[in-house]
Structure 1
Amino acid sequence: MAPVVDEVHDAVFVDGIHLGCKAVVLIAQNEKHVLGWYVARNENSRAWAALMERIAPPRLVVADGGGGFEKARKKVWPNTRTQRCTFHVFGQITRATTLRPRLEASKELYRLGTSLLRVCDAEEAHAWVQAYTDWCLRWETFLAEKTSRDGGGWEYTHERLVRARSSLNRLVSAGVLFTFVDPAWDRQMPAMNNRIEGATNAPLRQVLRDHWGMRLTRRIKAVFWWCYTHSEQPLPAAQILKIMPTDAQIEAAWHLVGATFQAGQLVIIDEASLTGTLSLDRITQAAAEAGAKVLLVGDYAQLQSVDAGGAFSLLIHDRDDAPELVDVHRLSHAWEKTASLELRHGRTPVIDTYLAHERIHEGDAEAMTDAAYTAWRHDRQQGLASVLIAETRENVTALNVRARADLILDDTLKPGPEITLSDGPRAGVGDTIITLHNDRRLRNRHGWVRNGQTWTITAVRDDGSVTIRPPGARFGNSIVLPADYVLEHVDLSYAVTAHRAQGITTDTAHVLVLVEPTTTRENLYVAMTRGRESNQAYVILDRPDDHAMSHPGDNPDATARTVLYGLLQHSGAELSAHETITAEQDRWGSIAQLAAAAQHDRWTTLVRGSGLTDEQAQAVIESDAFGALTAELAGPKPTTTTSTPSCHASSRLVGSPPPTTSPPSSTIASPTPPPNLPAPVAPASHRVSSSD
């Protein structure tokens, strides 16, 4: 439970974030910090009241008008004035006009929506209301147009615009659209946009997306942890852990299914590398108590769990009797079967194999994106099952939107009712989608809805729910997905990330290789082994946007070979807790570490005597780079001799000129990587590798 807030704030921002169809977290914050949060099954007045009762009534509350909020405000904060989040209002406008309106009335309303976000004072607010009133009068006849229904009756021809007008009329009449600029305030109120939309909602949703696949208990705990750490006076981690509800407490509260195993059962866990250590421990403990047996099936070299993982890899490497498949069955070409195993273990000579078979392409971001997309679309037009794989969710969303637009243009998809999916794109009848959450309640005669399954939409209902069936199935096997499931757990599946691609098999795969800190050998291995007939890599060499990390685009001589060389050395395989402890003990007990500690005083003395000022020398000694500096000074001697003393070398390393009393007669040559093989894009991970 969040703490009680006694301080009266000028403005409080509130919003709700849904965790699937089973829970919602309601959050309140001021301009800088989270003030309170409340997790409930549904967003209703009782839930809002439970949150608001623990926070002193503010002078102004900014909200998006969610279910039950206004009723709770009138009861708990009766004297608090309401300001509607204009960013949310703009979202309502764009749902009616789309982001690229075609009708002139839609274009004008869209421009009004964008100008709404820039209103800063009472004069601008008055001008906006006047412009909106003029729009209503100018298009009154147009919006009144009606169309007859086939079954009788009529409907507005421009129904979405009519709904947007009705919503805006209510807001203007209620006086909640520009409350923050009311001259009656004795001080300037903060901007009208709901801070939770960007400052809290967006990063919190990103946390949940980064840990996609977590069960509800872990998602709730992630929300609790994030809110605690972003409150005004965050508690120490140890204290947070004391008040954090346990998995058992949350599971009991939400009636999650516990141990349902029976004696003699065989429990098979597929894709076991994706199973978190704690989840695996809970399952095996429940199975042992029931007398059941657990069988783990998977590849320790593939992508890892979003929770604390490494247990599957530990079990494989700790046993001598773990069976392992020796034949690759998915891939059709003999050379690619062998190459995939080399790729699995990060052996860099395999790059030449893929280059020799013309499976690797290179270029800038725009060219590679177009090439991958064009090749994928060509395969689809030839009747092949093909998948586009990208590194980031932003790239995936952009490719999905582009694919759907082209399918509409070539009449593969017909215009009709649409629904909004989890990442923002829209979908309609005929679209191919992917479900992202297991739900055993949604079933057909062959099974239930699973995470990572692809489907085809066959009908869109007025309440936002959709009817789906497996791709290629013409009759039967239909399932209805509720509207809240669609909004939270469904996305287009023309393009996917490597995590979503793991476990699927297609005829061809087209992989965009964009080097990010999250790009690892495991990502590349999974992505380049999805297609039976062909797996193509499109390596992006330029810097598509600003990166804090180093990027191949910093090197004008970067090639696909050099990028992939670094990528294959960057393993993302996670060590188990036991392996981490062992590795740390070995590192700190090694002769090299002991020698480095013994030489610390020597290097400190050299730095202080190198000609730097006292302040510069102290800054060098206290910096994170001091360890790297001492390693450079203690490293192997270069093959060419030099008369430069160590103290002069240290002064050059930190960017200051050496003492002028003894100029060096030569310089130490920097070690260079072999031709075409620069240093890795990211530091290579000294972790246990994994298998298929």
Structure 2
Amino acid sequence: MAGSRLIPPAPSSRAAKVLGSDLDRRAHTLHSWLRQRGRAGDGRTVGKDFRLRPGEVVLVDEAGMAGTLLLDRILADAAAAGAVVRLLGDPHQLAAVEAGGALRLISRAGGAIELDRLHRFRVPGEADASLTLRDGDETRAVFDWYRARGRIVAGTYGSMCDQVFNAWAKDVNKGLTSLMTAADTATVTALNLRAQAHHIVAGTVDTSHAAPLRAGQHAYVGNTVVTRLNRRRMTVRGGRNFVKNGDTWTVTKILPGGALMVRHTRHRGRIRLPADYLAAQCVLGYASTIHRAQGMTVDTSHALASARSTREGVYSS
């Protein structure tokens, strides 16, 4: 029946995967959706997922991280088909890597409906503290709230790197999955190498063979690595999933020539990652930039903030 379908695209493959799981239906990235819609507009055959009829609803999740030009194309395409678009997201979180700000503009212009209650916090007062940080009001008071509860500590750059790493190591030694985050790539790389050294000392990785990764890093059997570029033709779980930007994997075997056999840390699917892909698009996965960490699921995370950190970055951590 026309008008009965909800179409859920998102800015990234990881966000699309989460959205699809939550809605129990297939979701797509904004780029892949528009690419297939363009094919349909050229009269080429596309799957039923990419057909758009009057009255249908295109629900864009994490819209604050979507580029403005992409959203404009989505809106124009939907309007031409007689469909409607709904943008879902938080305009105060991290913005798009490309030119963005559309969701924030809509929010400031008064054209947005906002939730008035938070449900994810259990500690009394934390929901209000989160909203204060989100809105950028009375930030000194809200940081005092976090500091009083041991959520944040302050010190020199070196001592804070030590604190982040030590907190991560303590959690990992308890058997938890944990992630370190920082605003800049240099700090992320240093934390990743330090985490790898921790695993070497602990004997949880096999250093008899190594495979080259991006930026001079190397992976051993037992390491956690993260892929940085979508590869739809590299499928896992019988074709039900594919290698995505931000996926984390455990190295299970190093093959001749530097390829890796890896197992996904969540859905447990296995795949061979070729050496050329690893060298260009794969790094250690113990630490991440704040942007790349969005959508990752771990037991704990430990963020390093500095004078260069933005309010959006701290809020999203």
Corresponding position: 1:288 with 2:79: yes
Question: TM-score scaled to structure 1, two decimals?
Answer: 0.37
**In structure 2, the residue corresponding to 1:456 is in which secondary structure?**
strand
**Share of identical aligned residues, percent?**
40
Deviations 1:642-674 (A, max 9, x none): xxxxxxxxxxxxxxxxxxxxxxxxxxxxxxxxx
Q: Summarize the alignment of residues 484-563 of structure 1 with structure 2, pairs less than 5 Å apart.
A: 484-516=276-308, 519-527=309-317
Give the structure 1 partner of residue 255 of structure 2.
461
Work out whether residues 262 and 290 of structure 1, in 8 Å CA contact, stay in contact via their aligned partners in 2: no
Query: d(CA) in 2 for partners of 1:293 and 1:510?
Result: 40
2:21 corresponds to:
none
The residue aligned with 1:544 is: none
Match of 1:452 in 2: 246
Q: Deviations over 1:294-314 (max 9, x none)?
A: 332221111111221111212
1:89-238 map, 5 Å: none
After superposition, residues 570-585 of structure 1 pair within 5 angstroms as none
Give the unaligned 5+ runs of structure 2: 1-11, 13-30, 41-49
Partner of 1:270: 61
Letter aligned with residue 160 of structure 2 = M
Given that residues 272 and 298 in structure 1 are in contact (C-alpha distance below 8 angstroms), is that contact kept between their aligned partners in structure 2? yes
Where 1:464 maps in the other structure, the secondary structure is coil
State the alpha-carbon separation in 1 of the partners of residues 122 and 273 from structure 2.
36
Give the aligned partner of residue 97 of structure 2: 306
| Residues 379-414 of structure 1, C-alpha deviations (whole Å, 9 max, x = no match) | 111122221111210010011011001101111111
1:307-322 correspondence to structure 2 within 5 Å: 307-322=98-113
Aligned to 2:215, what secondary structure does the other structure show? coil
One-letter amino acid of the counterpart of residue 389, structure 1: T
Corresponding letter in the other structure for 2:108: H
TM-aligned CA deviation for residue 424 of structure 1: 2.1
Alignment of 1:34-45 (within 5 A): none
Deviations 1:119-158 (A, max 9, x none): xxxxxxxxxxxxxxxxxxxxxxxxxxxxxxxxxxxxxxxx
Tell me how far 1:291 sits from its aligned partner: 4.2
Residue 7 of structure 2: aligned partner: none
Aligned with 1:373 (options 165, 170, 177): 165
Amino acid at match of 1:301: H
AA aligned opposite 1:334: P
Number of residue pairs matched? 269
Cα 1:480–1:271, aligned 2, differ >3 Å: closer, same or farther? farther
2:133 paired with 1:339: no
The 8 Å contact of residues 262 and 292 in structure 1, kept in 2 or not, is answered as no
- Shift of the 375–281 alpha-carbon distance from structure 1 to 2, 3 Å rule, reads same
After superposition, the C-alpha distances for 1:274-322 in whole angstroms (9 at most, x for unaligned) are 1111121123323333444433222111111122111121223334452
> Hey, what does 1:440 align to over in structure 2?
232
Determine helix, strand or coil for the equivalent of 1:278: helix
Matched letter for residue 315 of structure 2: Y
Cα distance in 2 for residues equivalent to 1:290 and 1:491: 42
Higher relative contact order (CA 8 A, sep 6+): 2
SS in 2 for 1:334: coil
- Give distance in 1, aligned partners of 2:155 and 2:194: 20
Instruction: In structure 2, give the amino acid aligned to 1:299.
Output: D
Quick check: which has more Rg, 1 or 2? Answer: 1
Q: What is the identity, as a one-letter code, of the residue corresponding to 1:276?
A: G
Deviations 1:51-109 (A, max 9, x none): xxxxxxxxxxxxxxxxxxxxxxxxxxxxxxxxxxxxxxxxxxxxxxxxxxxxxxxxxxx
8 Å Cα contact 1:302-1:525 kept in structure 2: yes
Cα 1:437–1:298 shift into 2, 3 Å? farther
Pair 1:356-2:148 in alignment: yes
Letter in 2 for 1:344: R
C-alpha displacement at 1:326, in angstroms? 2.3
| Counterpart pick for 1:410 among 202, 216, 237 | 202
- Name the TM-score, length of structure 2 as normaliser: 0.77
| 1:367-388 Cα shifts (integer Å, max 9, x gaps) | 2211211111001111222211
Deviation larger for 493-502 or 462-471: 462-471
Counterparts of 2:85 and 2:79, CA distance in 1: 9
State whether residues 106 and 112 of structure 2, in contact with CA within 8 Å, keep that contact through their aligned partners in structure 1.
Answer: no
Q: How has the CA–CA distance of structure 1 residues 421 and 342 changed in structure 2, closer, same or farther, with 3 Å as cutoff? A: same
Report the Cα offset of residue 257 of structure 1: 5.0
The question of 1:324 aligning with 2:115 is answered: yes
- Per the alignment, do residues 483 and 324 of structure 1 end up closer, same or farther by CA in structure 2, a change over 3 Å counting? farther
Shift in Å, 1:468: 2.3
Measured at CA, do residues 404 and 332 of structure 1 come closer, stay the same or move farther in structure 2, by a change above 3 Å?
farther
- After superposition, the Cα gap between the structure-2 partners of 1:488 and 1:402, relative to the gap in structure 1 and judged at 3 Å, is same
Q: What CA distance in whole angstroms lies between the structure 1 residues aligned with 2:263 and 2:74?
A: 31
Residue deviations 1:318-373 (CA, integer Å, cap 9, x gap): 344524362242x4423323322211112321111112112221222222211211
With over 3 angstroms needed to count, the CA separation of the structure-2 counterparts of 1:345 and 1:379, relative to structure 1, is same
Gaps of 5+ in 1: 1-212, 214-250, 528-692
Q: Distance in 1 between matches of 2:275 and 2:166?
A: 33
- For residue 153 of structure 2, give the secondary structure of its aligned residue in structure 1: strand
Q: In structure 1, how many angstroms separate the alpha carbons of the residues matched to 2:212 and 2:166?
A: 26
What is the CA–CA distance in structure 2 between the aligned matches of 1:290 and 1:448, rounded to whole Å?
30
Deviations 1:136-192 (A, max 9, x none): xxxxxxxxxxxxxxxxxxxxxxxxxxxxxxxxxxxxxxxxxxxxxxxxxxxxxxxxx
Structure 1 runs (4+) deviating above 6 angstroms are none
Is the Cα–Cα contact under 8 Å of residues 222 and 252 in structure 2 kept in the other structure? Answer: yes
CA–CA distance in 2 between the matches of 1:462 and 1:295? 49
In 2 relative to 1, CA 332–505 (structure 1 residues): closer, same or farther, beyond 3 Å? farther
> Could you say if the C-alpha distance between residues 484 and 287 of structure 1 is closer, same or farther in structure 2, counting changes exceeding 3 Å?
farther
Task: Quote the Cα distance in structure 2 between the aligned partners of 1:384 and 1:399.
Answer: 18
The structure with the greater share of residues assigned to strand is 2
Tell me the secondary structure at the aligned position of residue 242 of structure 2: strand
User: Does the Cα contact within 8 Å between 2:64 and 2:93 map onto a contact in 1?
Assistant: yes
Q: Residues 262 and 354 from structure 1, CA distance in 2 versus in 1: closer, same or farther, beyond 3 angstroms?
A: same
Task: Name the CA distance, whole Å, in 2 between partners of 1:396 and 1:487.
Answer: 18
Conserved 8 A contact 1:464-1:482: yes
Contact 1:262 1:291 in 2 (8 A): no
State how far apart, in whole Å, the 1-side matches of 2:94 and 2:200 are.
Answer: 34
Render the CA deviation track for 1:473-523: whole Å, top value 9, x for unaligned.
56xx2123233322222121211111112223433221112222xx21001
Q: Kindly provide the amino acid, as one letter, of the partner of residue 470 in structure 1.
A: H
